[in-house]
Amino acid sequence: MEIAKGVYWVGVVDWGLRHFHGHELSTHRGSTYNAYLIIDEKIVLVDTVWNPFQDQLLRNISAVIDPSKIDLVVANHSESDHSGSLPAVMRRIPNATVVVSKRGEESVEGHYHQAWNFKSVKTGDRISIGENELVFIEAPMLHWPDSMFTYLAGRNILMPNDAFGQHYATSFRFNDQVHREELYEEAIKYYANILTPFSALVLKKIDEVLALGLPVDMIAPSHGVIWRRDPLQIVTKYREWASQVPEKSAVVAYDTMWEGTRRMAEAVGNGMAAEGIPCKIFHMAVSDRNDVITEIFKSRAVVIGSPTLNQGLLPTIAPILEDIRGLRFQNKIGAAFGTYGWSGESVKLIEEHLTRCKIPVVCPGVRAKWQPKPADLENCEKMGREIAAAVKST
């Protein structure tokens, strides 16, 4: 499909995808792997697709031009969803040049163990391909060390690979053709779950790219739709998300064995609602972890509840705590609660974890022995009100 004069989308829509990065990330709306073919004096392929779809990529290229005519393959990023079909492509064009960032040379070679004809580029390097020119911008840790943006001067198209992407399978290729709310739900989920820890770098990179003064008619990421109408809207959103200024809201994430900790969670939520602070309550044993992460990303307060089991937490709570650690959220406050029968370590363990994650614990944890008594639930409501006050005050 021609997206601009001489520029073709040759990617794949993966409607069936429900988990990504193995099973680490949920993708309720599927995804796309976007690859772009540029027809100029030189023929350029920017990125490939995940290898289960390599035949489809080659068919899509063949519908435009004989794949053996490709001169340059740009591998903006070596993760398998974009580089997975490189071996199949390179079997057709063994002498073609593979353009990578300096770190990309090592990681592409590390994935495929092939001595392809690599050309490594750095920020500001240009390759003339005829009427148009490729301009490269390194974007290390957005989100891998090798990540790179390619800008097609002449057509004013920025191809930033994962940045500005969404796991969103659609019938159409452009942002102005899809449901705006769905698009932004997927864009923020992508940011929250993948890019949050690199937010400071996102802000720096946005400033750096804008300072180049390159005209941008399209932002064509490697997942989801292409930003064609008002393309810089997603850059503005990324700036907002990267600054991590939360909404005045809260998330309560808990698990429960015999409903005691659930009742405490709801009492905490009631306390917050009484103070006018919206709170979303998630039972982690049956909730999608990545969706909960997105809600935590948006919220000021994160409150975790678990009964004590084997002197620790319910195992279903561990993954969300690990994400909270790894994603390095900024500007959060926290608290903990839970039931116990005898040893009762869970609340302390959660508080210690939040503190290690630099999330200040803003009120004393509430523990309830066996099933919570009315006084325990009152303490939970009080905790909810205190957290709400802390949310409102900042």
* Chain positions contacting ligand FEO, by CB under 6 A: 77, 79, 81-82, 143, 162, 222-223
Catalytic residue among 82, 167, 223, 353: 223
- Among the listed residues 143, 168, 191, 255, the single catalytic one is 143
Encoded amino acid at 213, one letter: G
Neighbours of 389 (CB within 10 A): 14
Q: How far is the CB of 77 from ligand FEO (least distance, A)?
A: 5
> What is the smallest separation between the CB atom of 16 and ligand FEO, expressed in angstroms?
17
Name the active-site residue from 47, 77, 168, 386: 77
Q: How far is the CB of 33 from ligand FEO (least distance, A)?
A: 8
Catalytic status, residue 111:
no
Task: Single out the catalytic residue among 40, 81, 351, 376.
Answer: 81
**223: annotated active-site residue:** yes
Residue 190 annotated as catalytic: yes
Residues in the chain: 394
Give whichever of 162 and 266 is closer to ligand FEO, judged by the CB atom.
Answer: 162
Q: Please identify which of the residues 2, 19, 21, 352 carries the catalytic annotation.
A: 21
Q: Which residue is nearest to ligand FEO (CB)?
A: 79
With beta carbons less than 8 A apart as the criterion, state whether 54 and 61 touch: no
User: Minimum distance between the CB of residue 378 and ligand FEO, rounded to whole angstroms?
Assistant: 48
By beta-carbon proximity to ligand FEO, the closer residue of 79 and 386 is: 79
CA distances for 139 relative to 78, 162, 239, 331, angstroms: 13, 10, 15, 25
Nearby residues of 205 by Cβ (< 8 Å), 6 or more positions away: 139, 142, 163
Closest CB to ligand FEO among residues 21, 126: 21
81 catalytic, yes or no?
A: yes
The CA-based angle 345-381-336, given to 5 degrees, is: 25
Alpha helices in the chain (DSSP H): 54-62, 80-83, 86-92, 102-112, 180-190, 199-211, 233-242, 260-274, 289-298, 318-327, 346-356, 374-393
Least gap, CB of 82 to ligand FEO (angstroms): 6
223 vs 385, which CB is nearer to ligand FEO? 223
Integer Cα distance of 161 and 163 in angstroms: 6
Q: Of 103 and 262, which CB lies nearer to ligand FEO in the complex structure?
A: 103
Q: Can you tell me whether residue 277 is helix, strand or coil?
A: coil
119 bridge partner residues:
99
Q: Which residues pair with 33 in a beta bridge?
A: 12
> Among this protein's residues, is 259 annotated catalytic?
no
Catalytic residue, candidates 146, 162, 255, 266: 162
Q: What is the largest CA-CA distance in the chain?
A: 77
**With respect to ligand FEO, which residue has the nearer C-beta, 43 or 194?**
194
Minimum distance from CB of 278 to ligand FEO (Å)?
32
Q: What element of type H or E holds 98? A: strand 97-101
Positions marked active-site: 21, 77, 79, 81, 143, 162, 190, 223
